[in-house]
Amino acid sequence: MIMSSYTWSRLREKVAPLNPWEDLDDRVSPVDRPHRVTFASVLELPFGKGRRFGDGWNGLTNAVLGGWQFAAKYEWQTGQPLTWNNNTYYDPSCGSPSGLKSQWGKDGSGQIYGVDIPILDTTCFYTVNGQPITNAQGQVITFQDTNFIPMGAANIRRFPTTIESIRFMNHHLLDLGLTKNFEMGRTRLQVRIEALNATNYTLFNVGNVTLAPTNASFAKLNNLDSSTVMKPRDIQLGVRVVF
């Protein structure tokens, strides 16, 4: 048995304007997930009495190796857009921020986006004409400088609250299982071996992405040890008796 599904959706919303005198902000919703794929399958393995392999096995061999079922369940969906606060300055000479794109996973050198390196190109944040911003003394202002606030309540906001191409990491989940039923008169014994999150995929909390350019961890994840929302690979062995 094989079952699968694909869902395409689109969610936009109108929220508070970027600036008080403007119309409502028409944006892609922070909970928008355009694509979702699910797959589930249960297969009778071809081993044991009356099957392709092992039809001549003796009782003990067939009891141990024959009659197993294999089950798999897989889920995948795109990540949601990240939400930007009102203290974000993007150099207008770099063009529209809508051209920015987030990246997750590993780069060519093995570094991990969001952990070792930012998930997007941060070059044009807090810069003027491609050069680092300096203070009155000519000193370069770093992400650690608390005296520099590029945007506040009295400034005009131009950076959007969400950007279609800057999204959180995609969701992957694969569960695998083997099941064997033993008939013992009126009693039925079932043995299950399961691997939950079999690929050991790590999904973090979207709220742990640092989106404040004043922070040294800008465009990276914080609190890695406590921010996971998906449990690591879990191998389970279960037995059920029905009588």
Distance CA 203, CA 229 (A): 6
- Return the pLDDT at 57: 80
> 2 near 41, Cβ under 8 Å?
yes
What confidence tens digit (pLDDT) does each residue in 84-107 have?
987 787 877 788 899 999 999 999
- Return the pLDDT at 144: 46
Please indicate whether residue 79 or residue 59 has the higher confidence score (pLDDT).
Answer: 79
Distance CA 15, CA 50 (A): 64
**pLDDT surpasses 60 at 151:** no
What is residue 51's three-state secondary structure? coil
130 pLDDT band (50/70/90 cuts)? very low
**pLDDT surpasses 50 at 129:** no
* Spans of all domains in the chain: 2-242
Establish how many alpha carbons lie within 13 A of residue 106's alpha carbon, considering only the half-sphere containing its beta carbon: 4
Rounding to the nearest 10 degrees, give the CA dihedral for residues 50, 52, 55, 60.
-100
- Return the pLDDT at 53: 82
pLDDT averaged over every residue in the chain:
84
- Return the pLDDT at 37: 97
What confidence tens digit (pLDDT) does each residue in 173-188 have?
999 999 988 777 778 8
What confidence tens digit (pLDDT) does each residue in 109-127 have?
999 999 999 999 988 886 5
The mean per-residue pLDDT over the stretch 19-36 comes to 95
- Return the pLDDT at 146: 47
> 195 near 233, Cβ under 8 Å?
yes
How much is the pTM?
0.76
Q: Which long-range contacts (CB under 8 A, 24 or more apart) does 53-56 make?
A: none
The amino acid at residue 84 is: W
- Return the pLDDT at 125: 82
> 120 near 169, Cβ under 8 Å?
no
**pLDDT surpasses 50 at 25:** yes
DSSP state of 58: -
How far from the centroid of its chain's Cα atoms is residue 227's Cα?
A: 12
